[in-house]
């Protein structure tokens, strides 16, 4: 089941968010996996190889911009956050260093880490949503996408997945410079434990948000691969202790496949009417 080609027209903002509960020669790759010590709070090594691999792929540093005291009038707080600014007491670098426990029990960070066009009741900044200009910035600025890949790597580690990014040499099989393959797979050791915590919880909503955000920001490859991994989990219980409900998977499918103008929480009937306008 392949994903349809995305419609990249900017989505319209809504008031409320969803309420449902072959390897090629000379590759470069990294795995992000849970290497933390001792139980659920293990933070793991989320920088190092992962960050360096992302920088190697993009040719752009992902370190925070030290300039935070500047005129920010008219600049999206989402862009400021991903450029390294402190948004109401938090920076991207700080969140990436949080333990799994803090990621689990803090509810107002995911909205700026993976923004979407729709507003949420839990937000660090009232304007931390994706508007047309912010989406265009992410689609056209590789350094922003590189930083979001770091955020994705951290959350995938939290969920118990390995995130493998493989770069292809430009002279191999017609590959172009910067082309990459993305693989997201459950980590055999970390996933069973992690899944006991996040499956059938508020993290289902986080996953819907992450998929939608990645697509809105021009990261269809990552969104498609994450959805593929989730689809496999939905159809097979091998390696995880709980079953993903059909309702939850429906929202993930909507986030992965719908026209980006239509939010996942809109019913199929409402979505059909909106698609006709």
The residue among 185, 209, 164, 189 whose CA lies nearest residue 57 is 164
Q: What's this model's pTM, rounded to 2 decimal places? A: 0.72
Q: From CA 152, how far away is CA 242, in angstroms rounded?
A: 23
The reply to whether 14 falls in a domain is no
- Look at residue 236 in the predicted model and tell me its pLDDT: 82
pLDDT value for 195: 87
Q: Give the model's confidence band at 77: pLDDT under 50 very low, under 70 low, under 90 confident, else very high.
A: very high
How far is CA 72 from its chain centroid? 25
Does residue 183 fall inside a structural domain? yes
Mean pLDDT of the chain: 76
The two tokens of residue 84 are: 């390294």
Residue 238 lies in a domain: yes
pLDDT at 124 over 70: no
The pLDDT tens digits of the residues spanning 102-111 come to: 999 999 999 9
Instruction: Report pLDDT digits (tens) over 212-252.
Output: 999 999 999 999 999 999 999 998 865 555 678 899 999 99
pLDDT band at 198 (very low <50, low <70, confident <90, very high): confident
pLDDT band (50, 70, 90) for residue 275:
confident
- Over residues 106-133, the mean pLDDT reads 86
Number of domains in the chain: 1
pLDDT at 74: 73
- The answer as to whether 8 is a domain residue is no
Q: In the structure, what pLDDT confidence band is assigned to residue 210 with cuts at 50, 70 and 90?
A: very high
Instruction: Please name the residue that has the structure tokens 């939905």.
Output: 234
For residue 70, pLDDT beyond 60: no
DSSP string, 1-67: -PPPPP--SPPPP-SS------PPSS-B--------SSSTT-----STHHHHHHHHHHTS--SPP--
Would you state the pLDDT for residue 276? Answer: 57
Instruction: Point out the least confidently predicted range of 52-56, 90-94, 112-116, 188-192.
Output: 52-56
pLDDT at 179: 58
**Closest to 146 measured CA to CA, from 51, 66, 221, 65:** 51
State the Cα–Cα distance between residues 137 and 80, nearest whole angstrom.
12
Asked if residue 90 has pLDDT above 50, the reply is yes
For 48-74, the three-class secondary structure string (H helix, E strand, C coil) is: CHHHHHHHHHHCCCCCCCCCCCCCCCC
Task: Answer yes or no: is 88 within a domain.
Answer: yes
The boundaries of the domain holding residue 89 are 49-276
């Amino acid at each position: 089941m392949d994903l349809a080609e995305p419609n990249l027209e900017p989505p319209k903002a809504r008031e409320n968010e969803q309420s449902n509960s072959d390897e090629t020669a000379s590759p470069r790759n990294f795995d992000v996996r849970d290497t933390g010590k001792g139980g659920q709070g293990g933070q793991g090594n989320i920088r190092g190889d992962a960050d360096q691999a992302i920088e190697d792929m993009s040719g752009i540093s992902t370190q925070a911009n030290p300039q935070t005291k500047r005129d920010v009038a008219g600049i999206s707080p989402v862009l400021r956050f991903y450029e390294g600014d402190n948004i109401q007491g938090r920076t991207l670098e700080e969140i990436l260093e949080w333990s799994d426990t803090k990621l689990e029990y803090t509810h107002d960070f995911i909205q700026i880490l993976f923004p979407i066009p729709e507003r949420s009741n839990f937000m660090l900044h009232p304007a931390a949503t994706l508007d047309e200009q912010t989406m265009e910035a992410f689609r056209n600025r590789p350094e922003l996408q590189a930083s979001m890949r770091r955020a994705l790597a951290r959350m995938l580690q939290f969920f118990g997945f390995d995130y493998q990014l493989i770069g292809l040499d430009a002279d191999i099989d017609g590959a172009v410079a910067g082309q990459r393959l993305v693989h997201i797979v459950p980590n055999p050791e970390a996933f069973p434990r992690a899944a006991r915590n996040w499956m059938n919880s508020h993290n289902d909503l986080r996953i819907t948000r992450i998929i939608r955000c990645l697509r809105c920001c021009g990261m269809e490859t990552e969104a498609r691969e994450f959805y593929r991994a989730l689809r496999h989990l939905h159809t097979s219980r091998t390696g995880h202790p709980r079953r993903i409900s059909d309702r939850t998977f429906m929202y993930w499918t909507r986030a992965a496949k719908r026209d980006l103008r239509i939010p996942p929480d809109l019913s199929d009937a409402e979505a059909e009417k909106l698609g006709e306008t």
